[in-house]
Structure 1
Amino acid sequence: MTAILRSRNFQLCLALLLGAVVMMLPRPEGTRFKVSGDRNQLFYHTISSQYSMVPGDKTGTGSYVVESKYPTGSTYSGSYLKEKAGSFEGTDVQVEYVNGLSPKAKRFLAVLAVLVFLFMVEPIPLEITAILIGVFLVVMQVVDVKTAWAPYMHPVVVFIMCCLIFAIALDKAGITKRLGHFIVTKAGTSVTKFTFIISIGLGLASSFMHDAAAVSIGIVTMLPLMRAAGIEPHSRTAKFMMISLAFACSCGGMGTLVGGGRTMVSAAFLKEFTGIEITFMDWIKYAMPMAIVTVPAAVGVVYLVFRPDPSLKLPKLDEEIGPWSFQEKITVLIISISFILWLTKGFHGLHYSVTGMLGVAALILTGILKWDDIHENLEWGTALFIFGGGISLGLAMGHSGAAAYFANLFFPLVKGGGWLLLFAGVAVFGALVTNAMANVAAAALILPIVIPMAQLEGVDPTVLALCLGTATSFAMLLVIGCPPNAIAYSFKYFKASDITRVGLVATPVLLILLISVAAVWWKILGLV
Structure 2
Amino acid sequence: MLCLKLAEELGIIILDPWVSWFKAASLPALVSLLLTPLILYKFYPPEIKDTPDAPAMAAKKLEQMGPVTKNEWIMVGTMLLAVTLWVCSDTLGIPSVVAAMIGLSMLLLLGVLDWDDCLSEKSAWDTLAWFAVLVGMAGQLTNLGIVSWMSGCVAKSLQSLSLSWPVAFVVLQASYFLIHYLFASQTGHVGALYSAFLAMHLAAGVPGVLAAMALAYNTNLFGSITHYSSGQAAVYYGAGYIELPDVFKMGFVMAIVNAIVWGGVGTFWWKFLGIY
Shorter-chain TM-score: what band?
0.5 to 0.7
The secondary structure found in structure 2 opposite 1:473 is: helix
1:331 equivalent in alignment to 2:71: no
1:517 equivalent in alignment to 2:261: no
1:92-491 equivalence runs, <5 A: 261-262=2-3, 264-265=4-5, 268-269=8-9, 272=11, 277-280=14-17, 281-311=19-49, 313=51, 314-316=54-56, 317-318=58-59, 324-344=68-88, 347-349=93-95, 351=97, 356=100, 359-360=103-104, 362-369=106-113, 380=122, 408=154, 412=158, 416-435=162-181, 436=183, 437-438=186-187, 440-441=190-191, 442-454=193-205, 459-475=206-222, 476-486=224-234, 488=236
Q: Which amino acid aligns with 2:84?
A: I
Greater fraction helix:
2
Q: How many percent identity over aligned positions?
A: 21
Q: Distance in 2 between matches of 1:360 and 1:291?
A: 29
Asked whether the 8 Å contact 1:479–1:499 carries over to 2, the reply is: yes
Tell me which structure has the larger Cα radius of gyration: 1
- Distance of aligned partners of 1:462 and 1:328 in 2 relative to their CA distance in 1, 3 Å threshold: closer
Q: Distance in 2 between matches of 1:461 and 1:303?
A: 38
Residue 491 of structure 1: how far off its partner (Å): 5.5
Q: Which has the higher contact order (CA 8 A, sep 6+)?
A: 2
CA RMSD of aligned residues (A): 4.5
TM-score normalised over the length of structure 2:
0.65
TM-score normalised over the length of structure 1:
0.38
Q: Distance in 2 between matches of 1:326 and 1:388?
A: 30
Residue 326 of structure 1: how far off its partner (Å): 2.9
The secondary structure found in structure 2 opposite 1:307 is: coil
The secondary structure found in structure 2 opposite 1:412 is: helix
Question: What runs of 5+ residues in structure 1 fail to find an aligned partner?
Answer: 1-259
Q: Which amino acid aligns with 1:268?
A: E
Q: Distance in 2 between matches of 1:495 and 1:355?
A: 41
Q: Distance in 1 between matches of 2:165 and 2:46?
A: 41
1:500 corresponds in structure 2 to 248
Asked whether the 8 Å contact 2:7–2:195 carries over to 1, the reply is: no
- Distance of aligned partners of 1:304 and 1:433 in 2 relative to their CA distance in 1, 3 Å threshold: same
Asked whether the 8 Å contact 1:341–1:355 carries over to 2, the reply is: yes
Question: What runs of 5+ residues in structure 2 fail to find an aligned partner?
Answer: none
- Distance of aligned partners of 1:379 and 1:303 in 2 relative to their CA distance in 1, 3 Å threshold: farther
